[in-house]
Structure 1
Amino acid sequence: MSSNYDDRERGFDRDDNDDRGDRGGRGGRGGGRRAHRRKVCGFCREKVDLIDFKDVKLLQGFIPERGKILPRRISGSCATHQRMLSEAIKRARNIALLPYATD
């Protein structure tokens, strides 16, 4: 028969008041589960076939202050439209409709 002391010696000192708090045993910040809504490409939703490089207002929405092209995971566009978008931005930069970098 083993005593309570022997169990602790072997590393079996489990009790209900461990230091995990109210997080349910998982790491992180806790909180409730939230269903993640899938982003839908805005261009697909509007059935855009071609992204025009002369549409500067549209293209500026995909370029932050720093001047880099937003990645897909942030812009929410599909792979096809992201390629069209980056190509249009590069063409617009080439003919000086959009700046390469900001001051």
Structure 2
Amino acid sequence: MANDQIKYVTAPKVEDNRKKYCRFKKNGIKYIDYKDANFLLKFVNEQGKVLPRRLTGTSLKFQRKVAQAVKRARHIGLLPYVTDSLK
């Protein structure tokens, strides 16, 4: 009786049918420049963490290169380690 009216609030499963592709392979990019901070910001979330491959669609090889470029940019001060967006 009362159990018939219970509805659970869960997010509906949305399947993304778009084909994921590696933008580096598609454009023939061989080197990721760590000095290009605006480009690297596309692979970093609001907190400053590197986005995973399943979200960016990059291949394993270029995901490693992106992560290394982000770390180098952080080390020389082009990218922040963390941001103040959580405050």
TM-score, structure 2 normalization: 0.75
**Structure 1 segment 48-63 matched on structure 2, within 5 A:** 48-63=29-44
Task: Choose the corresponding residue for 1:40, options 21, 26, 35.
Answer: 21
Runs of 4+ residues over 3 Å off in structure 1:
34-37
Pick the structure with more helix per residue: 2
Q: Distance in 2 between matches of 1:64 and 1:44?
A: 22
Q: Distance in 1 between matches of 2:16 and 2:53?
A: 21
* Number of positions where the alignment pairs a residue of Structure 1 with one of Structure 2: 72
The gaps in structure 2 that reach 5 residues or longer are: 1-11
CA change 1:101–1:37 in 2 (3 A) is same
Match of 1:17 in 2: none
Superposed CA deviations along residues 25-60 of structure 1, whole A, max 9, x for unmatched, are xxxx7xxxx893431101111100010100111101
Superposed CA deviations along residues 60-87 of structure 1, whole A, max 9, x for unmatched, are 1111111100000001100010000000
**Structure 1 segment 7-86 matched on structure 2, within 5 A:** 36-86=17-67
TM-score, structure 1 normalization: 0.64
The gaps in structure 1 that reach 5 residues or longer are: 1-28
Share of identical aligned residues, percent? 45
CA RMSD of aligned residues (A): 1.9
